[in-house]
Structure 1
């Protein structure tokens, strides 16, 4: 049985209140749990001592038994040094999706093709210009 230390939501609509519980990882979020070890009230200020309350001794007991804390609970437990929590690092999160990258590549290809065509058009009349001048002189002679 794999154990998780996680939050179970309580409270009214738009007024969340969470219990920090030890539960089987297969049980529902607000369903059956093994033991309640603390509470979390996100409506209180960040400096309020009653915002997060838990029994550190019981948390350590369950961590020793192999319980894995959720990300939010690990953040709470790291304040007392029970677990090591690091901010997630996902450098690929900000990158656009595959379709957006394909559209961007097509746009760049079109721009390059337009520049190449403009360069060819600018070079071609310069070469043809001397050839047109004698024809223009013949037209004036008639």
Structure 2
């Protein structure tokens, strides 16, 4: 099954996540089919916290991909930022 989920990057005590499309059997930080955006939970000042290509998310969901709970919340937040 294809999933849209987070992969961890960044340094120790300074996480940074990429939103990727991958097969559910792959490891968390393993091979990804496509990178759709990023999530920076420790963003400060004028840094962007969430950046996601919502059109590509819709494309993958229409082809059967499933979002994890956290990614679904991030997509909702990104679409709210885009409309504001």
Fold equivalence (TM over 0.5): yes
> Mind listing any 5+ residue stretches in structure 1 that lack a counterpart?
82-142
In structure 1, how many angstroms separate the alpha carbons of the residues matched to 2:46 and 2:55?
A: 21
Count of residues in Structure 1 that have an aligned counterpart in Structure 2: 79
Do the aligned partners of residues 9 and 76 (structure 1) sit closer, same or farther apart at CA in structure 2, a change above 3 Å counting? same
Greater relative CO, 1 or 2 (CA 8 Å, sep 6+):
2
Aligned position for 2:19: 20
- Please say which structure displays the higher CA radius of gyration: 1
Aligned position for 2:8: 9
Aligned position for 1:74: 72
Structure 2 length-normalised TM: 0.85
In structure 1, how many angstroms separate the alpha carbons of the residues matched to 2:66 and 2:21?
A: 9
> Mind listing any 5+ residue stretches in structure 2 that lack a counterpart?
none
Query: Which protein is richer in helix relative to its size?
Result: 1
Structure 1 length-normalised TM: 0.52
| RMSD of aligned alpha carbons | 1.8
Aligned position for 1:54: 52
Q: Deviations over 1:47-68 (max 9, x none)?
A: 9671000111111100111111
In structure 1, how many angstroms separate the alpha carbons of the residues matched to 2:27 and 2:36?
A: 17
